[in-house]
Amino acid sequence: MNKDSDARIKLDRLSEALAKDLDALSDGELMEEIAATDEGRQKTVSHMRSLIEEAIATSGRRRLAKARQAYDAIKGKARAKVTDLPLDQKKALVAHFAKDPQALPEKLTMAARNEANSEADLDSLLQDLLELGVIDDEGNPR
């Protein structure tokens, strides 16, 4: 064996021994050891813990956003441009379809005639029209 491999073997043995010693310590003993040796280490541990927690939270938010996008894509509910239109244009578009009872089923036209609909109701109705193929993504009748 050469010097490098011999040194590497010794270093590996030392690492294994240190790992066994650390594994043998209870959480309380480990915290006592850290507190007894250096107050700065405690701050470092606390800082590292907060960094890890933030990384976990950020990762979770990203995963949630990706899951929502995938869900929307599957359900065909991706936000359409038509829902970004001003409220008056949304109302006019729904009113246009409410005038022609032959174009849409009766229940849909009855809902469209209800002028007390909130903007969320109008968005939902426009999304339904989009999914039915009655309008395109920008709200133009097909």
101-140, pLDDT tens digit by residue? 565 555 454 455 555 567 777 777 777 777 777 777 777 7
- Considering the domain architecture, whether residues 14 and 26 belong to the same structural domain is answered as yes
Mean pLDDT on 87-110: 68
Decide if 27 is inside a domain: yes
Decide if 138 is inside a domain: no
Domain that holds residue 128: 81-132
Task: Tell me the C-alpha distance between 48 and 52, whole Å.
Answer: 6
Task: Tell me the C-alpha distance between 19 and 8, whole Å.
Answer: 16
Of 88, 96, 129, 132, the residue nearest 113 (C-alpha): 96
Chain segment 57-74, per-residue pLDDT in tens: 888 888 898 888 887 777
Q: What pLDDT, on a 0 to 100 scale, did the predictor assign at position 131?
A: 78
Q: What pLDDT, on a 0 to 100 scale, did the predictor assign at position 107?
A: 47
Chain segment 16-71, per-residue pLDDT in tens: 888 888 888 888 887 777 666 667 777 888 888 888 899 888 888 888 988 888 87
Residue with tokens 């690492």: 15
Decide if 141 is inside a domain: no
Max Cα-Cα span within the chain: 92
Q: Exposed, middle or buried, 129 (CB in 10 Å: 0-12/13-18/19+)?
A: buried
Q: What pLDDT, on a 0 to 100 scale, did the predictor assign at position 137?
A: 77
Residue with tokens 């970004």: 84
- Considering the domain architecture, whether residues 65 and 47 belong to the same structural domain is answered as yes
pTM of structure: 0.32
Q: What pLDDT, on a 0 to 100 scale, did the predictor assign at position 106?
A: 53
- Considering the domain architecture, whether residues 25 and 47 belong to the same structural domain is answered as no
Q: What pLDDT, on a 0 to 100 scale, did the predictor assign at position 6?
A: 84
Decide if 140 is inside a domain: no
Q: What pLDDT, on a 0 to 100 scale, did the predictor assign at position 93?
A: 78
